[in-house]
Each structure stands twice: as C-alpha cells, then as structure tokens.
Amino acid sequence: MASQLVLGTMYFGGRTDTATSHALIDRFVEAGGRMLDTANCYAFWAGGSGLSETCLGEWLRAHPGADVELASKVGVNPAGDGIEGLGADVVRREVAASLDLLGVDRLDVYWAHGEDRSTPDVEVVETFGALVAEGLVGRIGLSNHPTWRVSRLRMLAEQRELPAFDLLQLTTSYVEPRPGAHVEGKDHPYGFANLETTDYLASHPDVELWAYSPLIQGSYDRADRPLPSAYDHPGTTARLAALADVASEVGAKPGQVVLAWLLARGVRPIIGASSVAQLDEAIDAAAITLTDDQRARLDAPA
C-alpha cells in the first residue's frame, strides 16, 4: 500500500536540506512509493518559490529513468499585491517553468492550487484541458476549491468534451474542527474536506481525494503539539478514545492508524516527513490492515 502514499515535498531544498530531501525520496521509492507532490510556490514563505521543484529536479537528474510520478501546482504564488491566479497566460508560463526546474517534459498531475474567481471558469477549464490534450500533463486536479465549484468546472469540461478535473486535494484527517471555527495556520477558506465533499465523492467514484496535513502536524502522537483549539469539542474526545483503542490493538501509533484508516477509505494521504524515521512510520502504517470491526468503531458517529 506504500504505492498509495504521496510524498509531500513542500520544504524540500529549503527548511529540509537537500541531502535530507534526497534521502527521503530514496527511501520512499525503495519502499514502493511513486508519487511526489510539489508546487511552483514551495516554499515562498520559507526560503523562496521554486526550491522544492529545483530539489526534485536535482534528484531526478541523478536518477535517470526513476519510476516516479510528479505532481505540481499553480495559482497561489505571490504576484504584486495578490496571487498569480489561473489565467491562461499564467498557467502556460508556470507549467513551462515547473517542467524546466524538474527537468521533465510531462507532469503526471497538475493542480489548480486555489480557486480564482477573477478568471472566467471557461478559461480555466479550457486551459487545463488543453494541457492534457497536448500531453504536457496526465491528469488535472483542484486543490482548496469548494465542492460547488468543483461540480461547475467539471460540468463545463463535460459540456465542451474536454478533459475534466478528476482529483481533489484538501486537508482532512480523522478528527475534524468545529464547523465555522478558524484553524490557525490555514489560509484557504475552502481547504477542508467536509460532509459535502464526502457525499460528492460517493456519487462521483471517478474523482479521487488526496489529503494534505492528515496528521495535523503530528498532533496525534506528540505531546508538544496539541490539536489546535478548533478541534476541542466532544466529537474529538470520542474519536480520540476510539483511535487509542484501535492503536493499542494493532500495536501502532495513533497517527499510523489514522493513515491506515484514510487509505482504507480510498483517500491518498500526503506525507510531509522531515526525517527518514518519520517517513518509515508512514510506510509502516500503509501496511496496517484494519478489521471490519475496527473500522466500524473508528467510523462510529462521535
């Protein structure tokens, strides 16, 4: 199941130094992982845009023919007083820049990193659809978009017989924040998967969900990183109790059970490890098989 994990590379080449970053990719690939997720903006707030793609490109050039898949993003790099957006000229320019930094001629996945309501939806659909048609990218996805806009953009693509967005990238985990609560550090208002997301995915089996920050920055396992206050409600208390019980039964850390639970639900977790030891825990989690009873107890309404 390690092949279903996604290695997040947000801080590669910056906060996570190049040697460590390359060691993480080495270990991930050795364990059977394939998908590496980056973005053109990683990490402008921690050293500069393009550091992650540059780091990945260096690894790829040192490993010609490596059996990996690449995903990158466009849309939220700073530009002037705002962000770059999803206009056709921007997307065309940035996909070319990403391909150049990575040293490849094709991306397996290309994400609209955040919504852009200043660019006509038809333009967004036509631009991304053309990238698929031209062979520059394999699949296209939407990150940090509300479900109603996901539905609209997919409908517009279908009407025009264009390749449609069939991937979503949102933050989700085993516990959830209170509805309407502000989660510190989260700057995408529609970046959380919710009940509507789950319902949409259930009726659209062709759409796949990738989960970023699935371990909530280590809060399940580290006493020095308590859950943000937005998660402080009775539902969390009940869920953490169920999680602790199952973790004890399978002999794993609670965070590992969270990853196993997500995988069992068909969600692909994005692993943001900064050490090989952290990555190994996630790889081990992918091998955990939860029983029907354990899944039922984890799924029980809080």
Q: What is the pLDDT of residues 125-165, one digit of tens each?
A: 999 999 999 999 999 999 999 999 999 999 999 999 999 99
146: region left, alpha or beta (phi > 0 left; psi from -120 to 50 alpha): beta
Nearest C-alpha neighbor of 116 from the set 100, 131, 127, 108: 127
**Confidence tier at 180 by pLDDT (50, 70, 90):** confident
Residue predicted with more confidence, 180 or 220: 220
Burial of 184 (0-12, 13-18, 19+ CB in 10 A): exposed
**Confidence tier at 182 by pLDDT (50, 70, 90):** confident
Q: How far apart are CA 181 and CA 251, in angstroms?
A: 33
Q: What's the CATH code of the domain at 179?
A: 3.20.20.100
Q: Which domain holds residue 96?
A: 2-299
Number of compact structural domains in the chain: 1
The predicted-structure confidence for 189-246, as pLDDT tens digits, reads as follows: 889 999 999 999 999 999 999 999 999 999 999 999 999 999 999 999 999 999 999 9
CB 165 within 8 A of CB 129: no
Question: Would you tell me how many other CB atoms lie within 10 Å of the CB of residue 202?
Answer: 9
pLDDT value at position 2?
85
Residue 286 has pLDDT above 90, yes or no: yes
Q: What is the mean pLDDT of residues 7-34?
A: 98
Residue 289 has pLDDT above 90, yes or no: yes
Q: How far is it between the farthest Cα atoms of the chain?
A: 54
Q: Which of 11-20, 24-33, 222-231 has the lowest mean pLDDT?
A: 222-231
Residue 56 has pLDDT above 90, yes or no: yes
Residue 1 has pLDDT above 90, yes or no: no
pLDDT value at position 184?
72
Q: How far apart are CA 205 and CA 192, in angstroms?
A: 19
Question: In the numeric block, which tokens belong to residue 34?
Answer: 């394939």
Q: Which of 183-187, 200-204, 232-236, 261-265 has the lowest mean pLDDT?
A: 183-187
**Confidence tier at 187 by pLDDT (50, 70, 90):** confident
pLDDT value at position 302?
62
Residue 301 has pLDDT above 80, yes or no: no
pLDDT value at position 179?
84
pLDDT value at position 188?
82
The predicted-structure confidence for 69-121, as pLDDT tens digits, reads as follows: 999 999 999 999 999 999 999 999 999 999 999 999 999 999 999 999 999 99
Question: In the numeric block, which tokens belong to residue 187?
Answer: 């700057």
pTM of the model: 0.96
How many CA atoms are closer than 13 Å to the CA of 16, on its beta-carbon side?
22
CB 262 within 8 A of CB 256: no
